[in-house]
Each structure stands twice: as structure tokens, then as C-alpha cells.
Chain A
Amino acid sequence: MPQLEAPAAIDYQSETYKDAYSRINAIVIEGEDEAASNYVRLAELMPTHAEELADLAKMEARHKKGFTACGKNLNVTPDMDFAKKFFSDLHGNFQVAAAGGNIVTCLLIQALIIEAFAISAYNVYIPHADDFARKITESVVKDEYLHLNFGEQWLKANFESAKAELERANRENLAIVWRMLDEVAADALVLGMEKEALMEDFTIAYQEALQNIGFTTRETLRMLTAGLAAAAA
């Protein structure tokens, strides 16, 4: 039976760490900013839920401030150009869906994929974070579960009419997530986050959300592997 190696101590002030952190921190800040904008847009598309969505948007804006403070705490300047490019495909797909009034696709991208991505990344990050960032991330991840829950509830209530669009949107967007994970894997590892753990945690959160909405285990497996196949293509 192999033994587990004790984790190497992380030097949060090393140039290597700060270099990787400049991109990861930027992704998190951009992700929260993107989420806030997306919930504002969703509030326009879903007027009966406008108040709730406005609250979610405010929460995301608060998260952005928190993560900006994490970067400042380590004297790191976030590489926002990198982050904007990192999110550009998902951002583009959300904008197209919103312009077409496709609420289901918008919810899948923001309330399921981005939220599950955030939850998994934050959960994997927390045990390796510096003290300042850990406290902030712990409080953020609690909120993100609520956001995932909003999307789940609405899609569950509209499951039959939304199912086909969800499957299509999944195929088109999940592949982007796998590519995003690949892009960030090396930097994440510097921060103590292993790619396979990120993938597993994302898949758990995303699959659970899909099952909560109404998909069967088999359907969710098909959806997850469809995303993988599209990423490999």
C-alpha cells in the first residue's frame, strides 16, 4: 500500500506562485464579474425573477471585490487580459443565447456550468489557500451553492420543455469547460490544485445539478461524455 506524501509547503510569496496566482486570481475576478453581468442580463430575460436575480448579481459583485482583495494581499496584479480571453468562448455563447432569448442555454452556461466550475475550483483551492484567501473563499463557496440551486429549481420546473435545449447547450459548452481546465492546469498545480481533482469535483457538482433537474444517471453520463468527445474533436 503506497503512502501519501505530505504536501509540499507552499511559498505564497515566491515568484513562481505569484506568477501563477496572477492568472488564477484574474480568472476568478473575471468569472465573478462575468457572473454578475450574466445575472443582470438574466433578470431582464426573466422579469418574474428579476429581484432574486438582482440579488445574485450583487452577491457576485461582492465576491469579485473579495477576490480582488486576495490578489492585493499577495501583491499580485491580476492578468485580466488573460482572464477575458479565458472566458471569451463561454461569454460569447451566453451573449448569443441571451440575444436569442434562450433562457435555458443562458441558465445552463451561468447557473450550472460556471457555478459548478466555481464551486469545484473553490473547494479544491481552499485547503491550499493562504489564510486571507481561505476565509474569503469559504464564504464565497457557500453563496455559489445557492446560485446553482436557483438554476436547478427553474430548470426542474421547466424540465420537459427545456430538456432538448439543455442537451444541445451542454454539448456546445461543456467542451469549452474541459479546454478551460486544460489551459489552467499548470497554474492551478502551482497553487496546489490538481487537474484530476478539479475535473472530478466539477463533474460531481455539474452531474448532481443535472440529476436534480430531472436527468437520469445514464442521461447525465451521456451528456458528460458528449462534452468530453467534443473537447477531443
Chain B
Amino acid sequence: MGWCSGLNSCASLFVPFVSLSPFNPFSKEMFGLIGHSPSLERTHEIARELGLPECADRDLEFWCSAPPQAVDTVRVKSATGQEIEGQYIDSGFLPEMLTNNRGKTAVRKVLNAMAHAQKLGLSVTALGGFSSIVFENFNLSQTRLVRNVELDFARFTTGNTHTAYIICRQVEEMAKRLNLELSRATVAVCGATGDIGSAVCQWLNARTNIQDLLLIARQEDRLQALRDDLGRGKILSLEESLPLADIIVWVASMPKGVEIDPAMLKKPCLIIDGGYPKNMGTKIQAPGVHVLSGGIVEHTLDIDSRIMRAIGMVNPKRHIFACFGESMLLEFEKWYTNFSWNRNQITIEKMLQIGEASIKHGFKPLLLDPVG
């Protein structure tokens, strides 16, 4: 018996499985993006921006029982001239569900959104924001059946390979811009044992000549395993590591943000805020501290969508989350596979592969508007 009430996780053996939409409204392959509002407060603006006033001014209880919705069509043109379309599905998840101990609700939101994407027949769908974190944290790969839909995990990607690649490129490029020599730099990775964090550590270890690597995470056993795997790195607490770091890669995702006192940071200091939600730019403002939104790509051409504006992207026509970018790249390249799946499976080869596709189709790491 599953703990995910409402999800017929183990008992649908007699129900006819639906792997594709019985009402597929699309005449061509489309990629998918599963996302959510960064906060309850933001849902009001997002609903209005998307022309859904019915969903504005609703409380947390409403969202806890709201179904997933395909609310936006996203059109992207590659630098090669190729054009593709996708659907943005709002799962109805809110970070407040985690802070209010509504884990079961969060699980239902993610699985229902995935079932919805599959029923719409979307080719490959990225799990954006907290979706992949909820999926991984609550071990949802054990839940293959959502009502009469047998989830086909080959149709989903966390997008973490592209995100990790972009964050690493942001470190490299921003270091140049700030005249931070990597060979003399100490890099702290907060959330080092996570899927993205461990990939970033691997890349920094193998493809850069950084002087020191500080590993920060909550689980000691995983940290030890990571250090053994890398053959280097110092395991420190957050408080110990922050004053030592020239570059901080923040890839821990927490429903509540953390407070960092800028006085304890080195100057200059580069912070790549690759966690979710991104709010360090507004929280940390001090001379010599440069905060850059991590895991964001800038596209060479305008992206036709309303959702990026709605969720508050600074340049919504050009900027998107790299994880969403990954499903676009998989669609461009017709790599219909769960390119990023399961924890700590990202390799440098896969980062290079998705990175090559990223460059080919006109995506580049966000560098131009560091905050702070």
C-alpha cells in the first residue's frame, strides 16, 4: 500500500492502462514543461498574466485540491532555424505545501502533472522547480501507476544535466569577468551531494584547475562518499566554508530561503544561485558580492511564451530555466529519452553532450545581469 493517498499506486492491475492521450489535441510532437508558482503570493499575478482570473486570489487549500493544467504554449526557434512547440503544465504545487507539512499533497501534484503530460502525448517533459526534487526526495520512481495511467519515465527528464552544465559554464565565464583566477580560487558547493551538486563537483574537479573545493551538505555519509569519489574536497559546515570561498555554488533547494550575512563573505565573492527558489539576489546586496541566477540560459532568439514573464523571469523573452531548456534540446535533437534521470547519474560526457546541443541551438549561460 502506498502512502500517496489518491494515487492508485499499486492496485490498478485491472484498469486499462493509458500511455497516450485518448484525446491528443496536438498534431505534432511537443515537448513539455512541468512547473509551478514560486509562492502562493505569486499565484495571483501568474493567474492574471496567463488570463486565468478564476485561479487568482485563491488560498493554499484551493491549490491543494486543484488539478494540473496545461496553461501555456511555448514556441522556440533554434539558431539552426528549426522550430518546435511545447506545453507548460502548472502542477498546482506550491513550496508552501512543503513548509506546511503537506508532503502527500506535493507528491500528488507532481505525479498528477506527470500523468497529465503523458495523457497529452508530450514527447519529453522536464520536471521544473521543485518537481524533480519532490520526485527524487519522496522516491516516486516506485509509483508507476497514477489512476489508469502507467507512467512512462522515458518521457520525463529532470533537466539536471543541462542545469549542471550551465552552472559550471557560469562559474567559468563569470570568474573570467570578475578576474577571479580559478587556479587560486576556493569554490564552495552548497548542496554538493545532490544530483546537480555532485555533477558540478565532478566537472570542477575534472575540467578546471580550482585550488580548493569545499563540500557542504546535510548528510555526512553521502559527503564522505562524494569526497572518496572525487579524491579531493574538504567537508565543512556552511558557516565554516562561506568566509573561505571565492565562489559559492548554491544548489541546495529549500522551501524556505536561508539568510547569509554578506559581512562574512570574501570580497570579491561570486555566488551562483542555482537553488530554487532564487532569491539570494534580493537578500544579499553588498559591494564586492556578485550574485548570479544559476542554471538559467539565455536564448539567442525570442521565445514565444507567457509563462516566463508570469513566473517573474527578468528577461522573459530570452531567459529560461536550463532544466526546461533540456526538454527543448531533447525535442530539437529528437532524443526522446529521459536524458537526466535517477540521482547522481550525471556524467561529464553527458554534460558535454547536452552542452554541445545547447550551443548548437542558441542557448548560452546567463552572464549579463548579475545582481549585487
Complex contacts, A197 vs chain B, CB 8 Å? 5-6, 65, 108
Complex contacts, A195 vs chain B, CB 8 Å? 65
Q: Please state if A139 and B7 are interface contacts (CB–CB under 8 Å).
A: no
Q: Please state if A196 and B11 are interface contacts (CB–CB under 8 Å).
A: no
CA gap between A231 and B11 in the complex, in Å = 33
* Nearest-neighbor residue (CB-CB) of A214 within chain B: B23
Q: Please state if B2 and A127 are interface contacts (CB–CB under 8 Å).
A: yes
Query: Nearest chain A CB to B25's CB is how many angstroms away?
Result: 8
Cβ of B98 within 8 Å of any chain A Cβ, yes or no, is yes
> Which of A1, A193, A221 sits near B54, CB closer than 8 Å?
A221
Interface size on B, residues (CB 8 A): 49
> Which of A145, A193, A201, A225 sits near B16, CB closer than 8 Å?
A145
Q: Please state if B3 and A194 are interface contacts (CB–CB under 8 Å).
A: no
* Nearest-neighbor residue (CB-CB) of B14 within chain A: A138
Complex contacts, A207 vs chain B, CB 8 Å? 67
Cβ of B15 within 8 Å of any chain A Cβ, yes or no, is yes
CA gap between A132 and B186 in the complex, in Å = 62
Which applies to chain B's interface (DSSP): helix, strand, loop or mixed? loop
CA gap between A197 and B55 in the complex, in Å = 18
B:80-116 near A, CB below 8 Å: 98, 101-105, 107-108, 112, 116
Q: Please state if A200 and B16 are interface contacts (CB–CB under 8 Å).
A: no
Query: Nearest chain A CB to B113's CB is how many angstroms away?
Result: 10
One of A2-10, A47-55, A166-174 contacting the partner: A2-10
A:174-233 near B, CB below 8 Å: 192-201, 203-204, 207-208, 211-212, 217-218, 221-222, 224-225
* Nearest-neighbor residue (CB-CB) of B1 within chain A: A127
Interface residues on A, range: 35 or more
Complex contacts, A196 vs chain B, CB 8 Å? 61, 64-65, 105
Q: Please state if B65 and A200 are interface contacts (CB–CB under 8 Å).
A: yes
Contact A203/B8 with A1-B137, A2-B98, A4-B103 known, Cβ cut-off 8 Å:
no
Q: Which of B66, B67, B103, B137 has most A Cβ within 10 Å? A: B67
CA gap between A1 and B256 in the complex, in Å = 10
CA gap between A212 and B71 in the complex, in Å = 17
* Nearest-neighbor residue (CB-CB) of A4 within chain B: B103
Complex contacts, B64 vs chain A, CB 8 Å? 196, 200
The 8 A-B residue pairs whose C-beta atoms are closest, nearest first, are A197-B6, A199-B65, A225-B54, A196-B65, A204-B67, A126-B11, A203-B67, A138-B14
Residues of B that sit less than 8 Å from A by CB: 1-16, 22-23, 51-52, 54-55, 61, 64-71, 98, 101-105, 107-108, 112, 116, 119, 133, 137-138, 147-148, 254-255
Known: A4-B4, A124-B5, A138-B11. 15 other contacts (CB 8 A): A7-B5, A127-B1, A127-B5, A127-B8, A127-B9, A138-B12, A138-B13, A141-B15, A142-B16, A145-B15, A193-B5, A196-B61, A203-B65, A217-B70, A225-B55
